[in-house]
Structure 1
Amino acid sequence: MTAVTLAAARRERILQEAVRQGLLDPEQSLLAAFVDLDGVAATVGALHEAFAGLGGDGPRHGAGSGPSAPPRVLHAFAAKANCLVPVLRELAGLGMGCEVASAGELARALAAGFPAERIVFDAPAKTRAELERALALGVAVNADGFQELERIADILARRPSASRIGVRLNCQIGGGRIAAMSTATSTSKFGVPLTDPGNRERLIRAFAEHPWLTWVHTHTGSQGCPLDLMARGVARAVEFADEVEAAFGPGRVEGVDIGGGLPVNFADDEVTPGFATYVEQLRAHAPNLFRRGYRVVTEFGRSLLAKNGFLAAYVEYTKTAGGRPIAVTHAGVQVAARTVFGPDAWPLRIEAHDGYGTVRRGRPVRQDVAGPACFAGDLLARDRALPLLHPGDLVVVPDTGAYYFSTPFHYNSLPEPAVHGVRVRADGGIEFPLIRPAQDPWGLSARDGVGVPPREPAGAPVPGVR
């Protein structure tokens, strides 16, 4: 069997066992999500392997050496991709760091056990209180602009910090095919626009004035951005780091945070592009990243988790409208907001299974796969050719381990589904450690500061109805 067919077979087996164990049930557990923890470990291993041969001249000036020296490359998982604490804890155990973009993500990273020195705080709107906390903890901080650099300078004048501090550059290299995912356009909200008049000189002055400023950060974008565009963005950042070193001496820039953004193949189960392919692009476009001995931080997210997670939901009803079959399921905008609101940019595969989890192999019929939300556009797929779905069937949505069920959208007060980890034991048995329990829809009002309404027992009379 090929790797692609093995992945599909593994997914089917997991689904069947989840049904057998009652994690999916047409009356009680209508929607559930799964994170393949074995797959996560394998993907992290591939990332470490791809960067293992990073060249250079050894530790930089002041970086130290020996067993207590900082890592040559720190892979910091982008928490926004999947911020569930048990998932983050798993990644911490695999030697990852964590990139956070809010106080909430920072709190989750700390709860997951990441040491402060392995956490990177990136956000365009950090408050003074957030910066003070991060700097007190020793978390790495990448300033998003000149005003933030001055705020950091003011804090450090009163309280020194062990944090490594960098500045984010917008290298203005251009965008990919998804505008919302392109962060290096000429007018991007992120970072200091490097080619705007006077900014390069102003950045050099910032390094002259602030000896604690020792890192350069850039991130060109993610899904929809070609690898060579990403690598050329890194090259611009490395060129600037080289310029700082030429002005102030070797070792003035300790490292370069190259961001993440490796795109994911959503068309099938093939894992492409791989991390090794991206490293090849970096060697071609940004050779000084390797030759000059800079320390490196990466911030991959989607490429580590997307293909290691899937959703499964029951079909509640089917109907036909205008001659097109429609399957109404329990998975929609609340767990697939990007696909529902941007179907052309974020198409997802749909797999048809019977109620026991076995793949349906009937004649493909063009049909819509709809979600439960109360608006017409809540569709996982439009006019998609699938074996005809029936009430009680299961639809599986692969490649949703990042940015989907881990970040639910609470439209219609739809509850968050349970998320289960998946591990296959040596004897072939499957374990499902709970990552997040399912929300009880009857308990949602507690979030609003009111009591939980009483449940009416089955068959109880409804007030006002005879």
Structure 2
Amino acid sequence: MKGTEIIGNNFYFGGCDTVKLAKKYGTPLYVISEDYICERCKEVREDFLNKYENTRAVYAGKAFLTLEMCRIIEREGLGIDVVSGGEIYTVIKAGFPMEKVIFHGNNKTIDEIELAVKNNVGRIVVDNLYELDLLNSVAQAHGKKMKILFRITPGVDSHTHKYISTGQVDSKFGIPLKGNIINEAIKRAIDVSNVELMGFHFHVGSQLFDNSSHIKAVKTLVKLMNDMKEEVGFITKELNTGGGFGIYYVKGDTPKPLNYFTDAIMHTIQDECSKYGLSIPQVIIEPGRWIVGEAGITLYTIGSIKKIPGVRVYVGVDGGFPDNPRSALYDAKYEVVVANKMDKEKNNLVTIAGKCCESGDILRYDLKVPSLDTGDILVFKSTGAYHYSMASNYNKIPRPAVIMVKKGTDRLIVKRETYEDLLRNEL
């Protein structure tokens, strides 16, 4: 994992001693490396934006979105995609340029669409015909014309967990290329007065290590572009190819550099457009996990150590399901180290248990560790994406603080919740 080192007995991340961070801020604690995020954004610029003309890169905010993250993404020259009213509100409060915001979602509420229209969100990715009509009516009421993309389900199965596979025919997302639905949608979008159809969007799935799904989807979408030009006279100006680029979690994962995906996407678009005699549209990518996933770690403090002779050793930590639901949802696995015993031999096998009243609250089975003691600090790596953003208050547990580290300095970007915070909306 980049940005890590061992000094003495301790694990350092982003130039900071994680044992000292745990003591200073308490645990559980999310730690995010600004240096790593900026390094990823630089790769996006060099290997995609500067390499190919008429391209855009948009950070998928659902992976991790705070006011400070918005500021970093703006500084790095990327846009942000949002999927809820809360995420729209966050980018508004951060002062993020709204023309660089893309709004996704399979069932946007009227209030969310109102918020997007009033604040001039740059693109709205329309998921279905109901939403098209709703958006047009809201935009008409506000005297605005909103630029849209249609989300297309390309019928591509990706090799990933079923809960994060989104490009197959049977998906809650997007307009399927079966029947005549997309033709009707395009005709209706052209006829209504307060939307402007710019093109199409697809997303084939997440945590992918192979580019074949993107290549297949691109071929499908370029054919759609040609069909719609011939059948209804629609010229595609933008093609959003989503994200889904995989990162490293554990041994066996084989993440690729960004250009493994983007070069394949761009070359396929160029070849297919040439074949059909089409102009190349603006091409957009939406990396989220790929930018922030490996930029984060989570720190826990060990409490109970329960030995069941001949069965298992359970090591309890002060977090669990509320701050990391991915283990229960996706059977997600992580590399884990003991921050204050990096020099010790790993000769014990333990299972890391969360503190929730749930038998399924297990963060890691069968982990090799040194001899452990209450008060030791555990580090779960690659937790930058879908941890803070998916955190809950299950069992009335306050959500952890989030700190940002940069070149050996640390700063608080999200305060730890208090018990009073948990009750502030209760009557």
The answer to whether 1:239 aligns with 2:223 is yes
Distance 1:103 1:6, change over 3 A: closer
**Identity within the alignment, %:** 21
Measured against aligned partners, the alpha-carbon deviations of 1:127-178 in whole angstroms (never above 9, x if no partner) come to: 2332233223221111101121122233344444353211111111124331
The answer to whether 1:393 aligns with 2:376 is yes
Query: 1:399 Cα deviation (Å)?
Result: 0.3
Question: Do 1:164 and 1:215's aligned partners in 2 also have CA atoms closer than 8 Å?
Answer: no
Distance 1:445 1:148, change over 3 A: closer
Distance 1:238 1:16, change over 3 A: closer
Question: Do 1:216 and 1:256's aligned partners in 2 also have CA atoms closer than 8 Å?
Answer: yes
Question: Do 2:64 and 2:389's aligned partners in 1 also have CA atoms closer than 8 Å?
Answer: yes
Distance (Å, rounded) in 2 between the aligned partners of 1:157 and 1:120: 20
Match of 1:349, as an amino acid?
E
Distance (Å, rounded) in 2 between the aligned partners of 1:181 and 1:82: 16
Corresponding residue number in structure 2 for 1:206? 188
Measured against aligned partners, the alpha-carbon deviations of 1:33-85 in whole angstroms (never above 9, x if no partner) come to: 110001100011111222135546xxxxxxxxxxxxxxx32211111100222
Distance (Å, rounded) in 2 between the aligned partners of 1:258 and 1:19: 37
Query: 1:7 Cα deviation (Å)?
Result: 3.5
Question: Do 1:79 and 1:99's aligned partners in 2 also have CA atoms closer than 8 Å?
Answer: yes
Structure 1: 5+ residue runs without aligned partners? 57-71, 425-429, 450-466
Larger mean CA deviation between 405-414 and 256-265 belongs to 405-414
Match of 1:170, as an amino acid?
T
Distance 1:15 1:371, change over 3 A: farther
Question: Do 1:54 and 1:290's aligned partners in 2 also have CA atoms closer than 8 Å?
Answer: no
DSSP 3-state at the match of 1:401: coil
Query: 1:319 Cα deviation (Å)?
Result: 2.0
1:250-399 mapped onto 2 (5 Å cutoff)? 252-267=235-250, 272-287=255-270, 292-323=279-310, 324-343=312-331, 346-354=332-340, 358-399=341-382
DSSP 3-state at the match of 2:11: helix
Corresponding residue number in structure 1 for 2:402? 419
Task: Identify which of 62, 75, 80 aligns with 2:62.
Answer: 80
Question: Do 1:55 and 1:293's aligned partners in 2 also have CA atoms closer than 8 Å?
Answer: no
Corresponding residue number in structure 1 for 2:207? 223
Measured against aligned partners, the alpha-carbon deviations of 1:217-261 in whole angstroms (never above 9, x if no partner) come to: 1111112573211232133223212333345668x3221111111
Whichever structure has more strand as a proportion of its residues is 2
Corresponding residue number in structure 1 for 2:23? 25
Corresponding residue number in structure 1 for 2:153? 170
Query: 1:209 Cα deviation (Å)?
Result: 2.5
Distance (Å, rounded) in 2 between the aligned partners of 1:285 and 1:157: 38
The answer to whether 1:37 aligns with 2:34 is yes
- Root mean square deviation of aligned Cα: 2.7
Larger mean CA deviation between 240-249 and 170-179 belongs to 240-249
Distance (Å, rounded) in 1 between the aligned partners of 2:2 and 2:262: 27
TM-score (norm 1): 0.82
Question: Do 1:334 and 1:409's aligned partners in 2 also have CA atoms closer than 8 Å?
Answer: yes
Question: Do 2:15 and 2:406's aligned partners in 1 also have CA atoms closer than 8 Å?
Answer: no
Larger radius of gyration: 1
Question: Do 2:49 and 2:57's aligned partners in 1 also have CA atoms closer than 8 Å?
Answer: no
Structure number with greater CO (CA < 8 Å, separation at least 6) is: 2
DSSP 3-state at the match of 2:183: helix
Question: Do 1:418 and 1:438's aligned partners in 2 also have CA atoms closer than 8 Å?
Answer: yes
Distance 1:377 1:128, change over 3 A: closer
Distance 1:7 1:230, change over 3 A: farther
Distance (Å, rounded) in 1 between the aligned partners of 2:92 and 2:280: 30
1:441-456 mapped onto 2 (5 Å cutoff)? 441=419, 443-449=421-427
Structure 2: 5+ residue runs without aligned partners? none
